[in-house]
Structure 1
């Protein structure tokens, strides 16, 4: 009798287990097949001014391409250029100016056929939110009321290069140089202006719009500086060229383009 009762209980257990598996509940089958992890991880080195928008686009990309995970490296375009020259593992490079991309192309460090101009931007003069200077024009930066102007370091930060072009074309560069407070990236410029440690700063329009603690005074005439273009390319040493091409192509698709537009970026030539 004991043996018969044991066999009965074993039979009931097998029936219950089969029923649970058949109904799609939590089962041994589901536990033994966890979600597939991404098979490729890309390193994307991008200008710091792109951080907010690329982080907003990233979930859209990884939802469409679950086999590819993206790791971002944000810094000034000049710093990223130097990292790539020194052999830092990088799959995709996005610069805030053509100069850095041109240098890498001349050294055969990018795949030329993958290079495309992705975005455009504008240059803005900003002041702290509570500023009492009542500035309205770039030329007023030469006034004695303005003591400190935060700009990007021109040797490595495109923002600084564009700013110097504007000042030079307005014939005020020499008079402004003693007032410059240099920053290594856009975050440093905004921080100086937001805190009041600088009376004014030169940033991209997209960054001015993203900060609640600065006031956008005016936008530079585009004739005063070289076109602000963001080129993108796959790095020659990338071991993941196919996945890198998939990522760059996604940034030109409608879903990504709409997000760029929402953050204030334009299309080159527009």
Structure 2
């Protein structure tokens, strides 16, 4: 079953990003406009980091294009004018690298994360096995084929041995933030999201963390898109995001250092 699982055609997104970039150039011709496509799970933390970065680098206009990692990958493949790509999984970045669309030397693994089961504040669900109970009719996860969070959720449910029991209850969302919204609005009894997404909402509670051995490591690779006209500025942004100042903000939002 799907709810609101509609996205703009990829070519319209490419046109939108192009117009956004052009508009920024017209308004701030003296600035370098740098566009980063980033997984939706990074929305809050990157907006916070941007405030600090732009204070220190007033000649850079950092523009974000948030969405599911798979959709962002497709936009880049279709020629969207993107300078940097920060994915929530290696798969999407690997595909761009195989097609020669990223600067391989610039690629780094920036962050890691975890997935958790969430529900309403008064949820009666206590753990993952409760999802098989007939009282639970709807479980939200992101679309596994295009959203890393959905892929990790499916892996965990399969390795826990309950995928077959809950498959018919699943509501697929276009990205992890939509999963969170479904739970917040009470449209589903539970959802599986990143730890960091659960942290931003005061309308849900974390029922249980998924066993980290039940899903692939959640890693966030970052790279410069090949052909950017803002190579130096893009390199500077990567250096800033990998630096101690940004790491503190990532940690405050619940992201983990790679390897931890």
- How does the TM-score come out when normalised to structure 2? 0.87
Task: Report the counterpart of residue 122 of structure 2 in structure 1.
Answer: 130
Q: Does 1:159 align with 2:118?
A: no
Runs of 4+ in 1 over 3 A off after TM superposition: none
Q: Give the Cα–Cα distance (whole angstroms) in 2 for the partners of residues 82 and 177 of structure 1.
A: 27
Q: Give the Cα–Cα distance (whole angstroms) in 1 for the partners of residues 71 and 97 of structure 2.
A: 16
Superposed displacement of residue 67, structure 1: 1.2
Q: Which runs of 5+ in 2 are unaligned?
A: 1-27
Task: Report the counterpart of residue 86 of structure 2 in structure 1.
Answer: 94
* 3-state SS in 2 of match to 1:45: strand
Q: Give the Cα–Cα distance (whole angstroms) in 2 for the partners of residues 96 and 38 of structure 1.
A: 32
* Paired residues for 1:153-232 under 5 Å: 153-232=143-222
Contact 1:38–1:68, Cα closer than 8 Å, also in 2: no
Q: Give the Cα–Cα distance (whole angstroms) in 2 for the partners of residues 139 and 249 of structure 1.
A: 43
Equivalent residue for 2:105, pick from 113, 129, 134 = 113
Superposed displacement of residue 136, structure 1: 2.2
Contact 1:38–1:69, Cα closer than 8 Å, also in 2: no
Equivalent residue for 2:140, pick from 137, 150, 159 = 150
Q: Give the Cα–Cα distance (whole angstroms) in 1 for the partners of residues 136 and 257 of structure 2.
A: 34
- Deviation track 1:72-120 (CA, whole Å, cap 9, x = no partner) reads 1000000100000000000000001111111111111111111100011
Superposed displacement of residue 127, structure 1: 0.3
Superposed displacement of residue 186, structure 1: 1.8
Q: Give the Cα–Cα distance (whole angstroms) in 2 for the partners of residues 40 and 153 of structure 1.
A: 35
* 3-state SS in 2 of match to 1:181: strand
Contact 1:37–1:67, Cα closer than 8 Å, also in 2: no
- How does the TM-score come out when normalised to structure 1? 0.84
CA RMSD of aligned residues (A): 1.1
Q: Give the Cα–Cα distance (whole angstroms) in 2 for the partners of residues 58 and 255 of structure 1.
A: 12
Superposed displacement of residue 224, structure 1: 0.4
Task: Report the counterpart of residue 254 of structure 1 in structure 2.
Answer: 244
In 2 relative to 1, CA 171–61 (structure 1 residues): closer, same or farther, beyond 3 Å?
Answer: same
* 3-state SS in 1 of match to 2:228: coil
Q: Give the Cα–Cα distance (whole angstroms) in 1 for the partners of residues 218 and 184 of structure 2.
A: 24
Q: Give the Cα–Cα distance (whole angstroms) in 2 for the partners of residues 38 and 156 of structure 1.
A: 37
Superposed displacement of residue 145, structure 1: 1.3
The count of aligned residue pairs is 233
Superposed displacement of residue 174, structure 1: 1.4
Contact 1:96–1:231, Cα closer than 8 Å, also in 2: yes
Q: Give the Cα–Cα distance (whole angstroms) in 2 for the partners of residues 209 and 61 of structure 1.
A: 23
Equivalent residue for 1:83, pick from 44, 54, 75 = 75
